Amino acid sequence: MQFYIHQHLVSGGVILSKKILGIAFAIFLGFGLTLGQTANAGVASLEDALSEKTMGKKDAPVTIIEYASLGCSHCAAFHRETLPQIKKDYIDTGKARLIFKDMPFGTPALAAAALARCGGTKKFFGFVEVLFRSQRQWSSGRNVIGELSKVGRFGGLSAQDVQTCLKNQTLLKTLGQRADEAVKKHEVRSTPTFFINGTKVEGAQPFENFKKVIDEALAKAK
């Protein structure tokens, strides 16, 4: 893992399109966050940034652990095409909860992971969705910090907040260490990788495949 973000994310390039920025605004509104509510929010504490990020009820009978890289196109496809149905059928109904774990392959993905966590727990999944939607723009390797700053602005983070976030070596190092641990302890070799009540599922598979595994886990949990 490369932690020295500012030595590697340089020179200007792609600008986030108006369409992407509009989507970003809509996503944050969907999470109940207006620009007025998020303005000048500042960077989350290190404790908050490194806390477990979950979606759904704590006592749900099924736990879905997702290992994903924000720079992974297959992960973006899962969040765009499959997760909404899983959320509707299982997470929102209290049958399952999702735990998101970062596997940032590459320096841009590490920077994006840090940014999402610096926004704070309440806005975390809003940041994740926006970063997946704008993945092509910021992950190109050209002016990554500049592009991430544009995303950060819609989550209430100033350009200085983003700079502060990406200079936090403890945050960056810990995210890298967690990813290394996932490889060593759980043999996570690619993204996305899921563990559904312990059953390993690899790749952005169709909803029907997840449904089968989740339903089996629910049956065993009864």
Candidates 135, 103, 180; CA nearest to 16 is 135
Q: What pLDDT was estimated at residue 102?
A: 98
Q: In whole angstroms, how far apart are CA 37 and each of 40, 87, 90, 114, 174?
A: 9, 25, 30, 21, 29
Residue range 48-76, pLDDT digits in tens: 999 999 999 999 999 999 999 999 999 99
Higher pLDDT, 195 or 139: 195
Q: What is the pTM of this model?
A: 0.84
Residue range 158-206, pLDDT digits in tens: 999 999 999 999 999 999 999 999 999 999 999 999 999 999 999 999 9
- The three-class DSSP label of residue 167 is coil
What domains are defined for the chain? 14-36+56-221 (3.40.30.10)
pLDDT band at 212 (very low <50, low <70, confident <90, very high): very high
Candidates 147, 148, 141, 123; CA nearest to 53 is 123
- Beta-strand pair 62-68/96-102: parallel
Decide: 155 and 37 in contact? Cβ < 8 Å.
Answer: no
Higher pLDDT, 144 or 207: 207
Q: What pLDDT was estimated at residue 41?
A: 59
Q: Any idea which residue has 């509707």 for tokens? A: 88
Decide: 58 and 97 in contact? Cβ < 8 Å.
Answer: yes
Rounded CA-CA distance 13/168 in Å is 24
Average pLDDT of the chain to the nearest whole number: 85
Rounded CA-CA distance 96/117 in Å is 23
Rounded CA-CA distance 32/81 in Å is 22
